Chain A
Amino acid sequence: MRWNVLRSSPKTTIERAIGAIALVLAALGPLVFNQYWAHQILIETFLFGIAAASLIFLSAYGGMVSLAQTALFGIAGVILGNLATRGGPGGTSKGLHLGWDPTVALVVAIAMTTAIGLMFGAIAARSIGIYFLMITLTYSVITTYFLGQVTLVSGFSGIGGINRYTPSWIGDLTGHPNRLYYVSLVAAVFTYVLIRYVVRTPFGITLQGVRDEPVRMSSLGYNVPLHRTLAFGFAAFLASLSGVLYVWWSGQIAPGNVDLPETISLLVIAVIGGLARIEGAWLGAFAFIIIQNYVRGFTFPFLGFGGTLFGGSFNTVIGIIFLLIVLISPDGLMGIWDRALAARSRVGRAGPSAEAPARTGG
């Protein structure tokens, strides 16, 4: 093959081509896809992809699997709802209704969520593996019950009508859902580019060292808990973007958006996409949302269950798909993709591959 001189370049070329096609399709989105696809499936894919990317970033580059990303996503939404909305006639929505300028509210919501993430991170940073997982699960549970029980800021019914209070530079989203489509797309591309950039900076390379060998890192002079804490804060920042987009999209946020099933859903998205590569975040979100949208009404033949109870047959179907993907490829759909490409290039070269095994984790 002509590419042989530049190692690993066929893969990069194919991926760049696919990425470019996806980006062009996404940019033309509302023209190419029907309304349901553009305004439901794709916006959801973009915004849940950002939340999943924050989880995958921590996992792939920091070696930390966090269950707190959904909680942070919700915290950002709730803060924005409290700051931006005004209590109006007929408004049954809970919350403080401070009626701040939406731009200020947006900045404060993101900043506060990042700060809470840093605090969460500082506590969890000294734990690893299952202990880290449990601590972050605790954050998720605490957040759900805090929002449910503190009726001043949320209550179980949550805050509604948030999408009516958007910054003037974005404009009305309810009347012009294409605006939200592009805002979400830009945020998703921004998140992807930012992560790809950050992992090559001193901070990012250091984080990968911490992932591989924390003990070695301290004896090289690094403050390992501080690095983990800051990485967690960065991931909280990304999760907050996703939370803000979510409340602009759905208009409301309630404890039910951050509870255990939702926390697990985000983990499922990240695992289906693949915990080792950032691209997996949007791939996983897309697969998840497609399945969610199209199998809801599906009834299992002979077994007869399905229908609309307990989310319809969706949970069963997604569970089976999740199981299959994890069994076939621990690195999710991106892992299957990597292996397919590796196999293809082996066949292409028709000889023993001199290349290292497909690397995972950055």
Chain B
Amino acid sequence: MTEAPLETRSTEPTLRVWGVGRRFGGLHAVNDVDLEIVAGERRAILGPNGAGKTTLFNVIAGDLPVSSGRIELFGHDVTAAPARKRARLGLARSYQQSRLFLNLTVEDSLYLAALGVRRGHLRPVTTRRDREMRERAREAARRVAIDDKLGEMVGSLSHGEHRQVAVAMALASKPRMLMLDEPASGLSPGERQLLTDLLLALDREITLILIEHDMDVALRVAERVTMMHEGRVIVEGTPDEIRANEYVHELYLGAPQRDE
């Protein structure tokens, strides 16, 4: 993929994070992080295990409250908003441990993902709108090539298929901002290629934030990379700058246990 020229895109920040911290007892899992992500950007967040990437995701998505700092999403201050309000603003995320509905079918899971940001969760009757949501669910399944498993129980699928369902669930709500937590982990090389192609083909309207251990996927998809270590942002730059950064090499790329 060639980089889209930045001028053609809105530079208005989709997500702004000011001095955000999250403590667990004495541990600063996330410490004074600033982040600004513009609409349509593809951003990767990298860092060794325990760098605070997933905790940062959790506070941005509202699964965990912040200990300090402020978060603005699509121009709204969401620091104190519950996860469901942020989802309704257009934020969708996936989880490292997939957190799937193991006793539902793939179609029902994707249907729930599509319905979540809409009204009518409590309807005790099925209407035409549900047919629309199911169509959207099937469309999301086609995008990740899991549409042959729509009627299967999620619990009976393989690990790779679980990752596909997780990405499809994030897509099914038609989000404005998509946060994926290690979508490529545990995937075969072929599945990784499919995932990379999918992410590269993603609508430019959607802002994408990616936590990824797989450097190939991350550096091919991302336009900017934020490097975290011990709860702090240590470097931010283009993939080339990150590759060239000596500190990053020492910390992560050159580490003997490169996680790929």
Query: Chain A: residues with CB nearer than 8 A to chain B?
Result: 198, 200-206, 208-209, 211-213, 215-223, 226-227, 230, 356-357, 359-362
Contact = CB atoms under 8 A, between A and B. Distances in A.
7 contacts: A198-B124, A212-B104, A216-B95, A219-B93, A220-B113, A221-B84, A221-B88
B156 interface: yes
Interface string B56-96: 00000111000000000000000000111011100011010
Tell me what chain A mostly uses at the interface: helix, strand, loop, or mixed: helix
Given A200-B126, A356-B155, A216 B100 contact: yes
A223 B120 CA distance: 12
Given A205-B111, A212-B101, A360-B103, A221 B153 contact: no
B82 A357 contact: no
Which of A203, A204, A360 counts the most chain B CB atoms within 10 A?
A203
B103 A202 contact: no
A359 B95 contact: no
Nearest to B129: A202
Interface in B85-136: 86-88, 92-93, 95, 99-104, 108-109, 111-113, 115-118, 120-126, 130
A215 B99 contact: yes
Contact of A206 (B93, B99, B115): B115
Nearest to B87: A221
B123 to A, nearest CB: 5
B112 A201 contact: no
Which of B63, B84, B87, B100 counts the most chain A CB atoms within 10 A?
B84
A222 B88 CA distance: 9
A219 B83 contact: yes
Nearest to B85: A221
Given A209-B104, A212-B104, A219 B153 contact: no
A120 B231 CA distance: 42
A127 to B, nearest CB: 18
Interface in B29-76: 61-63
Contacts of B153: 356, 359
A222 B63 contact: no
B52 to A, nearest CB: 19
B112 A209 contact: yes
Given A215-B63, A216-B101, A205 B87 contact: no
Contacts of A223: 84, 121
A221 B117 contact: yes
Contacts of B14: none
Contacts of A202: 115, 120-124, 126, 130
Interchain residue pairs A-B with the least CB separation, the first 10? A220-B116, A221-B116, A221-B87, A356-B156, A212-B101, A216-B99, A218-B83, A221-B117, A219-B83, A202-B123
A82 B155 CA distance: 50
Interface string B162-174: 0000000100010
Interface size classification for chain B: 35 or more
Contact of A203 (B88, B124, B173): B124
A208 B121 CA distance: 12
A203 B84 contact: no
A212 B116 CA distance: 15
Contacts of A360: 103
B152 interface: yes
A102 B81 CA distance: 48
A220 B87 contact: yes
Contacts of B120: 202
Contacts of B102: 212
Contact of A220 (B130, B152, B173): B173
A212 B102 CA distance: 7
A203 B100 contact: no
Contact of A208 (B82, B104, B124): B104
Which of A204, A205, A208 counts the most chain B CB atoms within 10 A?
A205
Contacts of B109: 209
Contacts of B92: 219-220
Contacts of A357: 156
Nearest to A194: B124
A216 B61 CA distance: 11
Contacts of B123: 201-203
Given A198-B124, A217-B116, A212 B103 contact: yes
B87 A219 contact: yes
A230 B84 CA distance: 18
Contacts of B115: 202, 206
Contacts of A356: 152-153, 155-156
Given A202-B120, A216-B95, A356-B152, 20 more contacts: A200-B126, A201-B126, A202-B115, A204-B124, A205-B111, A209-B112, A212-B101, A212-B104, A216-B101, A218-B82, A218-B87, A221-B116, A222-B121, A227-B122, A356-B156, A357-B156, A359-B103, A359-B155, A360-B103, A361-B103
A218 B122 CA distance: 14
A341 B113 CA distance: 33
A362 B108 CA distance: 12
Contacts of B155: 356, 359
